[in-house]
Amino acid sequence: MLSVAVAGASGRMGRMLIEAVLASDDLALGGALDLSGSAALGQDAAAFLGRTSGVLIGADLDPGLSGADVLIDFTRPEGTLAHLAACRRHRVKAVIGTTGFSESQKAQIADHAEHIAIVMAPNMSVGVNVVLKLLDVAARALDTGYDIEVIEAHHRHKVDAPSGTALKMGEVLAHALGRDLAQCAVYAREGVTGERDPSTIGFAAIRGGDIVGDHTVLFAGAGERIEISHKSSSRAGYAQGSLRAARFLASRSSGLYGMDDVLGMHTPR
């Protein structure tokens, strides 16, 4: 049975992951990590479910990972990098759902992946990753005469914008169109902007309430609009996708993978 540790154990995503692991037939909860000073430290990781798992939430990475095969991490970039260093020491594989990494931080993750197996994706939802494949097909077919806009909405607590998923969508679109996203992305419009440059890919971010995550890519042409959307009503889809990623890593010893690898939809990048 694969032993899974969860980072951010007392957070919304952490609790969803713990519940999903405990409900699975082939996974066991091997560790639960949280920030030093968290009110949840020392509590049973399943206390919020009204049950006991025998795993206590702790802040010390080394004992927290000692019984795990895979760590699932949806925290913050700095925390994830510290967790990966500990995973490397203990030969623990990692599933990373954290977003907002800088290019230098991504390089650090790639370095760790030479020693341990890592699945990293801005969105672990199976549905979102199918949408990414659809966007590749659509962008290639609608390469001229259509303006492309990426619109995303998330809850008020999200700290990065655009979302990692929106940026991944932009990367897929730009690659399909033979463009460099760094050169063609437009992240804000205000005042007299002039006519829209047809070679650009626009982004709009909405923050409010408890929106789990909505993403829409609009292809706007003359006389018609095509919209490809994904809307999350709960974090359950992220949790189930993360468990699939953990299972995928069971037979890997090193390397950096994406959800397209997990789902068997990989195409050369």
Say if residues 239 and 17 touch (Cβ distance below 8 Å).
Answer: yes
**158 belongs to the catalytic site:** yes
Q: Which is nearest to 3 in space by CA: 71, 57, 58? A: 71
Say if residues 78 and 100 touch (Cβ distance below 8 Å).
Answer: no
Give me the catalytic one of 90, 133, 158, 175. Answer: 158
Say if residues 135 and 217 touch (Cβ distance below 8 Å).
Answer: yes
- Give the chain's count of helices (H) and strands (E): 9, 12
Give me the catalytic one of 93, 154, 168, 230. Answer: 154
**93 belongs to the catalytic site:** no
Strand-pairing partners, residue 3, are: 28
Contacts of 180 (CB under 8 A, 6+ apart): 174
d(CA 4, CA 28): 6
Query: How many angstroms separate the Cα of 251 from the Cα of each of 116, 129, 245, 247, 255?
Result: 12, 22, 11, 8, 11
Catalytic positions, written as ranges: 154, 158
